[in-house]
Structure 1
């Protein structure tokens, strides 16, 4: 009973956090932006995930004369993971492949930010895919942890 209540509380807390942050989960990194992105890409490779793109927003901004703190976007995924989710609700394809935004804030702190799968569930009215969503949430958390920790 206590475990059930604790699980419910954690789920509610996570849902509140997702709404408070527009469906984004942000984890502080121990590294600079480039190192965090490198560590993410290495982890994705280890887990047989495909890295589709590494977009260096700050470099692109510099090319047009705009100053932007270090910011990179990594697009990644695996059809074995994303396709079952799209089979439940095809519109979720607009949010796939997965994305990780790695950026430096105005205080010099680096953040690893990604879409909360629970937010995607609500946004796309996904039903019957709780197992796939839980698997994705666990994987995203693991990727973020490996990329941000020393």
Structure 2
């Protein structure tokens, strides 16, 4: 299920969440932890904007991953660390929560990863499918 602004544009996948931004972020971080992965950071970009006296739609970036999966990718292609750990952007689009991330194939092509290494990043697809399930 993809759609909306930026959907599949430049290798970005966007899915619609039935939950508000905060609920989607809480569900995502819970799912990541329950699957034995690590949440490295949750950055509330809208809150940071407010602290600077600026307005920004609800926008939260979640950085997470599994070092056992990501380390071989970074060992083979050091510049992949620019995109790892994996990132999911949860954001509000006029009342609709969207979940956006780089497609594993996009990252694979960007860093010339073989199928085995690209597969180590592919878990983000079923994770986000489960995230947006009702």
The answer for the alignment partner of 1:62 in structure 2 is 50
4+ residue stretches of structure 1 with deviation over 2 A? none
SS at match of 1:68: coil
Q: TM-score, structure 2 length as denominator?
A: 0.88
The answer for the alignment partner of 1:111 in structure 2 is 98
Q: CA RMSD of the aligned region, Å?
A: 1.6
How far off its partner does 1:26 sit?
0.7
SS at match of 1:43: helix
The answer for the alignment partner of 1:122 in structure 2 is 109
The answer for the alignment partner of 1:14 in structure 2 is none
The answer for the alignment partner of 1:93 in structure 2 is 81
The size of the alignment, in residue pairs, is: 128
Q: Which has the higher strand share?
A: 2
Q: Which has the higher helix share?
A: 1
Kept in 2: contact 1:52–1:75 (CA 8 A) = yes
How far off its partner does 1:123 sit?
1.4
Q: TM-score, structure 1 length as denominator?
A: 0.79
Residues 97-140 of structure 1, C-alpha deviation per residue, up to 9 Å, x if partnerless?
110000011x32111111111111221222xx312312421x10
Kept in 2: contact 1:53–1:76 (CA 8 A) = yes
Unaligned runs of 5+ in 1: 1-17
Q: How does 1:26-41 map to 2 (within 5 A)?
A: 26-41=14-29
Kept in 2: contact 1:39–1:146 (CA 8 A) = no
Q: C-alpha separation between the residues in 2 aligned to 1:66 and 1:51?
A: 27
Pick the structure with greater CA Rg. 1
State which of 120, 126, 132 in structure 2 corresponds to 1:142.
Answer: 126
How far off its partner does 1:146 sit?
2.1
